[in-house]
Amino acid sequence: MDLSGKTALITGGTHGLGGTIATELHAAGANVLITGIEDEAGKALAGTLGERAAYHRMDLSRDGDIDAALADCRDRFGKLDIIVHNACSYLDSGLSTAREDWLTSLNINVVGASVLVDKARPMLTAPGGVVVLIGSVSGKSGNHSRGPYSVSKAAIAQLAKLMAVQLGTDGIRALTVSPGWTWTPPMEAMTDGDRDIADKAGAKVNLLGRVGRQKEVANAVVFAASDAASWVTGCDIPVDGGFTTLASDQGLGPRHWCSVIASEQS
């Protein structure tokens, strides 16, 4: 999965899963433009990666930011082959979510991705370009506590199909990569940094008996973005340890099951 000579733009790429995706794309040989709104983290990651990496602030709710980031990508690297949409708003109170938070979440998670890809279309390598949208198992089933997050992830799956149809005539692919429970900053926070609790909770709901690792998700993104996946478009690649096959978490989510494990150990 050699990405040498290709250029990737990653939204929400400053840290966590997005940062790992940026790191693995870079390791595969791609130029990477890391975008997001956490400037210090983004600049630090780009500095760590060094050559072929840069950071540009981009708030997906602002068209001007999108235009500026794409111009920076063109000026720095001269091309754009890969877009990975990982940015996500976590404003979410289930059905009780305020209208403003609903609109903010959908604007960033779904609308921002659509606007970015539409604006980037003239730049995207055709044929051969690819758009990878990060989905989630949360968009595939109901959930007791989540609203905008799950709804937006379900919408992203449909958005990928829309992009696959409308960009396919140019030879540009579009698809989703959908992680399951993964050891990321939100899960670290809900377990006080105890990965053993997370893995034991994951064993309750995943066929492979643990939670995923960020690099495992990033590896799937690298594959999706590579020429090895040249005949893959309009679909979802689940990276969930069998979660969507087992579907036995009763819609309670990782916070519940991690707390159960913690209680059993205390």
pLDDT, tens digit, 9 for 90 and up, residues 108-123: 999 999 999 999 999 9
DSSP readout, the chain?
A: ---TT-EEEEET-SSHHHHHHHHHHHHTT-EEEEEES-HHHHHHHHHHH-TTEEEEE--TT-HHHHHHHHHHHHHHHS-B-EEEE-------BTBT--HHHHHHHHIIIIIHHHHHHHHHTTTB-TTT-EEEEE--GGGSS--SS-SHHHHHHHHHHHHHHHHHHHHHTTT-EEEEEEE-SB-SHHHHHHTTT-HHHHHHHHHHH-TTSS-B-HHHHHHHHHHHHSGGGTT--SSEEEESTTHHHH--STT-HHHHHHHHHHHHH-
**Given this model, what pLDDT does residue 200 score?**
94
Residue 245 or residue 109, greater confidence? 109
Taking residues 146-169, report their average pLDDT.
97
Determine contact, residues 97/91, Cβ cutoff 8 Å. Answer: yes
250-261 tens-digit pLDDT: 667 788 888 989
Res 247 pLDDT > 70: no
Question: Which structural domains are found in the chain, ordered by start?
Answer: 7-182+212-241 (3.40.50.720)
User: Cα-Cα-Cα-Cα dihedral of 130, 16, 115, 171, to 10°?
Assistant: 0
The model carries a pTM of 0.91
Q: Which of 77, 102, 149, 257 is catalytic?
A: 149
- Does 55 participate in catalysis according to the annotation? no
